[in-house]
A = this chain, B = another copy of it.
Amino acid sequence: MATDTQREKRRLILRAAITVFARTGYHTSRVSDVAKEAGVAYGLVYHYFGSKEDLLEEIFRRTWSRMLEAVEEVERTDVPARDQLAGVARIVLGAWQVDPDLVRVLVREVARSPQLGREVDEIAHAFAALERIVVRGQERGELRAGIDSRLAAWVLYGALEEILTGWVFDRLASAPDDVDRAEQTVVELLTNGLAAD
């Protein structure tokens, strides 16, 4: 049967959820707002999703799943570590241009994601991939061996997320040029450091 239509409806509702959650945050959004935004009846949200929290969980899961894939693709790439890191930075910061509402939701509800539980695996895997990129770079002698690779991965991700946060709350400039510059700066900073030679 019309599974295509069904998938579209699901997608439609999920999209609406992102839009609505991005507007005023998950908690202050009502399920009825999501339904209205999607242009469907109240109960249909519950036909496709078990609960309001499920909506958020699915948003997280999908995003991290795609993030994981993207990072792994970068990992498989045969380029210098620095370029790989730049690739990751581009993925994360690029999201702001591709789907700012999604970024708004993710940034605003970060704290909820570890509690959401299930998709934590995907997050952990993405961090692990990032860490492997660092380790590989160290093995190839491109990156310093003395630095804890796991911490380095966290620092990179933290830096990127903070920049997204700055954009979301309009405390950092986020025009296309700024995005490019931020990407380059972060990479430069993390590879060569702030110190003058």
A residues near B (Cβ < 8 Å) are: 25, 27, 81-82, 85, 107-111, 114-115, 124, 134, 137, 141-148, 150-152, 154-155, 157-163, 165-166, 169, 171-172, 181-182, 185-186, 188-196
Query: Is there contact, CB below 8 Å, between B147 and A155?
Result: no
Q: Which single residue of chain B is at the shortest CB-CB distance from A196?
A: B144
Query: Is there contact, CB below 8 Å, between A186 and B142?
Result: no
8 cross-chain pairs, A with B, having the tightest CB-CB distances, nearest first: A158-B162, A193-B193, A192-B193, A155-B159, A114-B169, A191-B195, A108-B111, A158-B158
Q: Please, which residues of chain B bring their CB within 8 A of the CB of A150?
A: 172
Q: How far is the CA of A5 from the CA of B79 in the complex (A)?
A: 65
Which of the residues B111, B154, B196 comes within 8 Å of A142, measured between beta carbons?
A: B196
Which of the residues B143, B162, B181, B196 comes within 8 Å of A194, measured between beta carbons?
A: B143
- 13 additional A-B pairs beyond A145-B196, A147-B185, A157-B162, beta carbons within 8 Å, are A27-B27, A109-B111, A110-B111, A134-B194, A146-B188, A147-B188, A148-B185, A151-B185, A155-B163, A158-B159, A158-B163, A190-B194, A192-B192
Q: Please, which residues of chain B bring their CB within 8 A of the CB of A146?
A: 188
Within the complex, what minimum Cβ distance (angstroms) separates A122 from chain B? 13
Which of the residues B109, B137, B147, B189 comes within 8 Å of A152, measured between beta carbons?
A: B189
Q: Please, which residues of chain B bring their CB within 8 A of the CB of A25?
A: 111, 115
Query: Is there contact, CB below 8 Å, between A147 and B194?
Result: yes
10 A–B pairs (Cβ distance < 8 Å), ordered by A: A27-B27, A142-B195, A145-B196, A148-B181, A151-B182, A152-B189, A154-B159, A154-B163, A162-B162, A193-B193
Which of the residues B111, B159, B195 comes within 8 Å of A82, measured between beta carbons?
A: B195
Q: Please, which residues of chain B bring their CB within 8 A of the CB of A165?
A: 110, 158
Query: Is there contact, CB below 8 Å, between B194 and A152?
Result: yes
Q: Which single residue of chain B is at the shortest CB-CB distance from A191?
A: B195
